[in-house]
């Protein structure tokens, strides 16, 4: 499972800030293709899709 890191940018060194920006250049196209059906389902079904995907993906 992926994790999300939060950074207080005002406390980063210039080198650390530059490194974070470089990460955003990564190719995310494989992820985009995976989430397209989820986004479309939420667009069409609203909360019902959110609940369904929450159960499927998070067990909630």
pLDDT in tens, 18-43: 888 887 677 888 888 999 999 999 99
What DSSP character marks residue 50?
Answer: H
Cα 56 to Cα 7, 28, 48, 49, 51, distances in angstroms: 30, 22, 12, 10, 9
| pLDDT value at 2 more than 80 | no
Residue 1 pLDDT level (bands cut at 50, 70, 90): low
Question: Could you give the residue ranges of the DSSP H alpha helices within the chain?
Answer: 14-23, 29-45, 47-58
Who has greater pLDDT, 53 or 2?
53
């Amino acid at each position: 499972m992926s994790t999300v890191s939060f950074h207080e940018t005002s406390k980063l060194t210039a080198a650390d800030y530059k490194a974070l920006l470089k990460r955003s250049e990564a190719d995310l196209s494989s992820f985009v293709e995976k989430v397209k059906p989820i986004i479309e389902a939420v667009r069409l079904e609203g909360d019902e899709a959110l609940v369904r995907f929450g159960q499927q993906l998070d067990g909630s």
